[in-house]
Amino acid sequence: MTFDVASAARKSMSALHRASEPDVLKSLLDRAALTPESRERVMGHALGLLADLRAAQGKGWVNQFLQEYRLNSSEGVALLSLAEAFLRVPDPETADLLIADKLGDADWRAHTGKSNSMLVNSATWGLVVGRALVGEGQAQSALRRLIARAGEPFVRQAVGAAMRMMGEIFVMGRTIDEAMKRMKKPEHKGFTASFDMLGEAARTHDDAQRYFRAYTDAVDAVGRDPAAGHSVSVKLSALHPRYEVARWDECVPALTEMLEALAVQAADKGIALTVDAEESERLEMSLDIIGTVAALPSLKGWDGFGMAVQAYGKRARPVVAWAGALDRIMNVRLVKGAYWDSEIKRAQVEGLSDYPLFTRKAATDVSYLAVARDMLDALNIRPAFASHNALTVATIMEWAGNARDFEFQRLHGMGDGLYERLVREQGYHCRVYAPVGGHRDLLAYLVRRLLENGANSSFVHQLADERLTEAEILADPVAKIAAVGGARHPSIPLPVDLFGAGRRNSAGLDLADRAVLRETVKSVSFSGEGRSPGSQAVSSVTLDPGLRRGTEEAIGRAMAAFPAWSATPVAERAACLDRLADLLEIHRDELMAICVQEAFKTIPDALGEVREAVDFCRYYARAARDGLQPVELPGPTGERNVLRYAGRGVWATIAPWNFPLAIFLGQTVAALVTGNTVVAKPAPQTPRIAARAVELAHEAGVPKDALILLPGGPEVGAALTADPRIAGVAFTGSTATARKIARSLLEDDTRPIVPLIAETGGINAMIVDSTALPEQVVADVVTSAFRSAGQRCSALRLLLLQEEIAETTITMLKGAMDTLRLGDPGDPATDVGPVIDQAAYDKLMAYRAGANVLKTLDAPAEGLFVPPTLIRLSRIEDLNAEWFGPILHVVTWPSGKLAETIRAVNAKGYGLTMGLHSRIARAAEETEALSQVGNLYVNRSMIGAVVGSQPFGGEGLSGTGPKAGGPNYLHRFVVERAVSVDTTSAGGNATLLSLDEGGI
């Protein structure tokens, strides 16, 4: 490796990763630009290629599909949704529900016989028959009777045939031998293939071993005929279930070993091996793995090793420079990129400073051209350009001149007509990226590729749009980007601006950046006053001496401070919250450290805790400014009606230990900004984080007597809520404690009736039907049940699996549990830390001892570690209590009984969170209509509610409402006072005097 070049390239990657889009594009525009003379020649070539593409559209099934079923049509969306799920559904009843859901509202008959493709027309007829069978009316009834007499499940056969037909178009073969045989057909004459043994990323070690065997078998098969020139592509995420930065020390050596074995095998067989590109957070890991394998002496002289680079990433150019600095020939495949939407969402959700990729399609095209030019000029790179874009191909041909020492690439099933003449008449080489595997596993991949290449801005979609002119299709991306100054897409704000001008998103840390993660680990690992993971002792808190005089004096001070604080304008109170939010971010590392040491939070959870507290402050500040102003109400002329809001008095806020900063501050700042004073009692296990939060609130401008910290145990809380001077209570904790508080507020007959805002626990269930994607289900179950050691109010307690998929899902879930690591919460590799105290530990361990345990893990010998545990129950009714820890119960339910299953969950009386995994939209609608929960999550995890986006709180035994972080929360903290003034007594309505409509 040329060390200086490689080192400079890695430094450049770090600088570009979160650089602003205009700054990154400045250096790319000149590199990607064409001279006027070159532009004229490129347009000539591109027009010719465009003509070839249009001529081939009758042969290209995918082009025909995009023309017939546009992705912005109900039929297109329905067909993709059906294709994604249908073949994995094992039971006829759910398959029928899926068909009815996807086909019932679309007009398939309008598409019959319209396409030039026999395959499209055949598939359409299958869908027409399916629609007839799930629709209503006399004709449909007659057809149903006919099918019933025939004794065949005709609808499922027809739709299944259509789905398999779609799979056959995109999948080169179900096995590697079948795929290699298909490559010998006349339509592939002159082309080679890169076979990819596709599937979802590994969720278990067994998955990884199965994929590894598939890759070794593929290398063996392709190696039997090296002269054919075929190669194999490898996806590293398929070879390790924890391919993530937090597990760098585990996964990078393991993946390096496996990749080395595959590379040595490929070198011995005389074939090429390419490592696919994946999400940007995995780039640095992949370079370490690839660089180590590339430097192996055993691979000296083998020129078949390669890697893919994604042009939509801001780091694409230095990645290519790094590859060129390796002391060997490297095959580099340049692609546009396959994870754009998920990358954008991740940056927004995690509050990152900027995006790792470009937000405009034209910017990606500019990057692609600039990087392509670098590759053509590099000495140690053998370029491969993957594109279906005629303009891109023509530009590369222009820059390459007479050279043919590179190749083009295209996806199997796409780009038909683009390369045939170039390969067979002009001596260019083209390789087909060819998926291999069973249709059931690969149709999810098919859908992703159709969506990616069928987006409105993509070349494939534009080609299928007859309304676009050739000039529009072949518009110069350099000119497009130059015209907007390289600016981001206007519809994609920076993550900090996600919630608009009124509220800044909380700033996050990119824990997928190894350098950032290392610095974070240092910052949370200092030796403070926290307790070790095995300790029971509660840390001490240094308090103002005045606070030690007891509850009564604290309430008295808060009462005395109430008039002045209540009279403070809303804008000033809101400004205090905004300043507090800023201080929380300034002191983020310190606060995270206390959360790790005192509450045993893992590093990601500690970061999330601080960010949620920041979001609460900014959200309630904005809500107060907008929602607590006087409201003019309508009435008759000569009368003025105004509604005003005012604080109630002194509020008691009682916070839990599981969110000792976010919930503690969320409740408290809501009471403060509405004009109340607050006596805030933290959980006895976590007083230090509360004390630091109160210090920062005072620094932000909240008067010391307007917010008073009152640490202590249950006896302090009981004394606080029993005091008749308390005007309201906001509590988060157990249902039993909430009941005690409610009773104490009513015991004194002379006491005013005061509001209680209670957020309590739940027996939270996730329902999974047979249309769900198992890999997604398992990932979301592990996150929902075991993250934070299961110590979240929203955590998954009860997994309800449809009978037909229960055992396979449980098997995968067990394997995913095996990848979890228990240990020090300050270690980034830790997934599950200790539970909060000895009492919680003893209770949970005693329960596990008597349960029907399907799966558990080994736990560290020292410390309060409750191992993640999966328990089998016979019925939903068997679970009658919330077990607040990493314990998950599983029950099965029969197909067709979704409504009954939901009602059984409702009957438990809790109503906090519920999850549903299903590809049937009507199942989601039915669940939404029947479930009695505060928060319903569909096809995602059940934890991590975002302030302002997913207001959180339950009903029934799970809380009183209103929901925290929602639009109605603040109004529970105020009294409403209406004033009505008869203005006629002071001369009437003066505005009427200006109206020339009668009078004396």
CA-angle at 449, arms to 406 and 68, nearest 5°: 115
Active site residue 877: no
Rounded to whole angstroms, what are the CA distances from 608 to 119, 506, 683, 686, 833? Answer: 50, 10, 19, 17, 16
Question: Residue 728 pairs with which residues in a beta bridge?
Answer: 651
Residue 318: CB atoms within 10 Å: 23
Cα gap 533→833, rounded to integer Å: 8
Torsion of CA 663, 728, 968, 570, to 10 degrees: -90
Active site residue 793: yes
Cα gap 106→365, rounded to integer Å: 35
Q: What distance, in Å, lies between the first and last C-alpha atoms of the chain?
A: 99
Q: Which of 278, 407, 420, 759 is catalytic?
A: 759
Rounded to whole angstroms, what are the CA distances from 132 to 77, 86, 162? Answer: 19, 18, 15
Residue 232: CB atoms within 10 Å: 30
Farthest CA pair distance, the chain: 109
Length of the chain: 1000
What is the CA 322 to chain-centroid distance, rounded?
Answer: 30
Bond preceding residue 962 cis, omega within 30 of 0: yes
Closest CA to 110 of 131, 136, 135: 131
Identity of the residue numbered 305: F
Whether the CB-CB separation of 408 and 384 falls below 8 Å is answered with: yes
Cα gap 533→143, rounded to integer Å: 67
Q: Coil, helix or strand for 575?
A: helix
- Residue 913 CB contacts under 8 Å (≥ 6 apart), including other chains: 762, 764, 794, 933, 934, 935, 936, 937, 942, 954
Residue 365: CB atoms within 10 Å: 28
Residue-by-residue DSSP string for 327-361: SS-EEEEEE--S-HHHHHHHHHHTT-SS-SB-SSH
Whether the CB-CB separation of 123 and 67 falls below 8 Å is answered with: no
Cα gap 222→306, rounded to integer Å: 16
Residue-by-residue DSSP string for 161-197: HHHHHHHHHH-SBSSHHHHHHHTTSGGGTT-EEEEEE
Whether the CB-CB separation of 558 and 676 falls below 8 Å is answered with: no
Question: Residue 600 pairs with which residues in a beta bridge?
Answer: none
- Residue 444 CB contacts under 8 Å (≥ 6 apart), including other chains: 84, 200, 773
Q: Show the beta-strand stretches assigned E in 349-425.
A: 381-386, 407-411
Whether the CB-CB separation of 630 and 656 falls below 8 Å is answered with: no
- Residue 15 CB contacts under 8 Å (≥ 6 apart), including other chains: none
Cα gap 677→688, rounded to integer Å: 21
Hey, which residues are catalytic here?
759, 793
